[in-house]
Amino acid sequence: MFCCQLLHVERTLQRCHELQLWYRDAYAVKGVVPMSDSGQPDGSEEGEIHRAVSDDGTEIAGRVYGDGPPLVLVHGAMADGEFIWEPLLPSLTDRFTCYAMSVRNRGLSGHGDDLSFECRMQDVRAFVESIDEPTRLLGWSQGGLLALDVAANTDAVSVVAVYEPPAFEVISEDELAHFTDLVERMSELVAADESAVAARTFLEWVANDEELAHPAAEELVEGCAPNVPVFLQEVQGLDVDGPSPTSPSRLAEIDVPVLLLCGTRSVPDPWLLDSVDHIAEHVPDARVRSIDGVGHMAPVTDPETVASELEEFFTAMPEPSQ
C-alpha cells in the first residue's frame, strides 16, 4: 500500500537527480561547514579525510576530528557528515577520534546508483571496517537504523549509541499516511526548484516548536537542502513490507551493548518513542536513557547534554580487545 501511494513520486525523481547534481557542483568547494562562521569544530583545523570503498566500489569519506578511541558518526536522512555534527563535535573530540562520514551521494562521498538501505548499510560497514580497530558507533535518526544494522553485520563495532531511530514496525496508519503526503509535497517543491522549502517542510515534521524557533533551525535547512533530492530517491526504494533493520529477528543479532537515547518532547509523537521501546525490547543488551525537555533535534539544540550521555555510556564500556 505504501509503495503504491508513492508511485506518483517517480515523475519528479529525474528532476530531483538533476537538482542533486546541481547542488553538488554548487557545494563543490569542500570544507565549507554551513552551520557556523568558525569553519571547523575543535580538534582539527580542517579535518583529515578518511576514505573507504563500499562493496560496489563507491568511495565513502568523512572528516576526522579529535584524539582518542575511534567513534564513527552516522548522519540522518536529510543530512551529511560535513555539517550536521558541528554542534556536537566540540564536546566529543577531547575524548574520541570522531569520524564524521557521509553515505553515498552526500558530503565528501562518491556517487552510487544503488540507493537501497542495504547499500547504504554497506557504506557504513566498509567505513567502520577500514579503521582497523574496534569502533564505537553513533547514529542519529535514520543513521541510527544504519548503525544498528551495521552492528548486526560486522565484528568491527564494539558498542553502539543511537538517538531516536525510527521503526516502521510501530508506525500508525495515520502517521504513515502523513509521511506519504509529506514525501509528495517535498517532491513537488523540489520539482519547482524549492529544495530549501522542502527541507524546512521535513524539519517541521520532526522538530517541536522550540526546536523550530532555535537559531540553528535555518542553518539546518540550508545544510539539508542539497540532500533533499537524494533523500527522495532513497524513499522511492523504501519497502516497508521487505526486510527491516528493526525487525525482531534482525535486532536479536546485535551482540554488542546498545544505548538508545530519546527526548521527552520528540515528534512525531508517539512514533519515535514507540520506536525506541520496540528496539529496546528486541536488542539483547540495550539500555534506554531519556533526556528531559528535548526533542528529535537535541544533538543540534542541546549538544552538551547529548554528549554527556554518550561519554558516560562509552567510557563505562570495557575497552574492546584489538
pLDDT of residue 238: 80
pLDDT of residue 243: 82
Domain membership of residue 251 (yes or no) is: yes
Domain membership of residue 309 (yes or no) is: no
pLDDT of residue 245: 95
pLDDT of residue 31: 35
- Model pTM greater than 0.85? yes
pLDDT of residue 242: 73
Q: How many domains does the chain have?
A: 1
When pLDDT is cut at 50, 70 and 90, the band that residue 8 belongs to is: very low
Domain membership of residue 186 (yes or no) is: yes
Model confidence over 42-87: pLDDT tens digits? Answer: 434 456 999 999 999 999 999 999 999 999 999 999 999 999 999 9
Looking at every residue in the chain, the average pLDDT score rounds to: 89
pLDDT of residue 27: 39
Domain membership of residue 84 (yes or no) is: yes
pLDDT of residue 46: 59
Domain membership of residue 313 (yes or no) is: no
Domain membership of residue 266 (yes or no) is: no
* Spacing of C-alpha 194 from chain mean position: 23
Indicate if the pLDDT at residue 112 is higher than 60. yes
Please give the share of the chain, as a percent, with pLDDT higher than 90.
81
pLDDT of residue 179: 96
Q: Rounded mean pLDDT of 18-29?
A: 45
> What CATH code is carried by the domain that includes residue 145?
3.40.50.1820
When pLDDT is cut at 50, 70 and 90, the band that residue 239 belongs to is: confident
Q: Rounded mean pLDDT of 188-198?
A: 98
pLDDT of residue 12: 45
pLDDT of residue 117: 95
Please give the share of the chain, as a percent, with pLDDT higher than 70.
85
Indicate if the pLDDT at residue 294 is higher than 50. yes
pLDDT of residue 310: 98
Indicate if the pLDDT at residue 28 is higher than 80. no
Range of the domain at 184: 2-258
pLDDT of residue 244: 93
Indicate if the pLDDT at residue 182 is higher than 80. yes
Domain membership of residue 294 (yes or no) is: no
When pLDDT is cut at 50, 70 and 90, the band that residue 237 belongs to is: confident
When pLDDT is cut at 50, 70 and 90, the band that residue 322 belongs to is: low
Domain membership of residue 270 (yes or no) is: no
Q: Rounded mean pLDDT of 255-270?
A: 98
pLDDT of residue 240: 64
Q: What is the 3-state secondary structure (H, E, C) of the chain?
A: CHHHHCHHHHHHHHHHHHHHHHHHHHCCCCCCCCCCCCCCCCCCCCCEEEEEECCCCCEEEEEEEECCCEEEEECCCCCCCCCCCCCCHHHCCCCCEEEEECCCCCCCCCCCCCCCHHHHHHHHHHHHHCCCCCEEEEEECHHHHHHHHHHCCCCCEEEEEEECCCCHHHCCHHHHHHHHHHHHHHHHHHHCCCHHHHHHHHHHHHCCHHHHCCCHHHHHHHHHHHHHHHHHHHHHCCCCCCCCCCCHHHHCCCCCCEEEEEECCCCCCCHHHHHHHHHHHHCCCEEEEEECCCCCCHHHHCHHHHHHHHHHHHHHCCCCCC
Indicate if the pLDDT at residue 30 is higher than 80. no
Q: Rounded mean pLDDT of 114-121?
A: 96
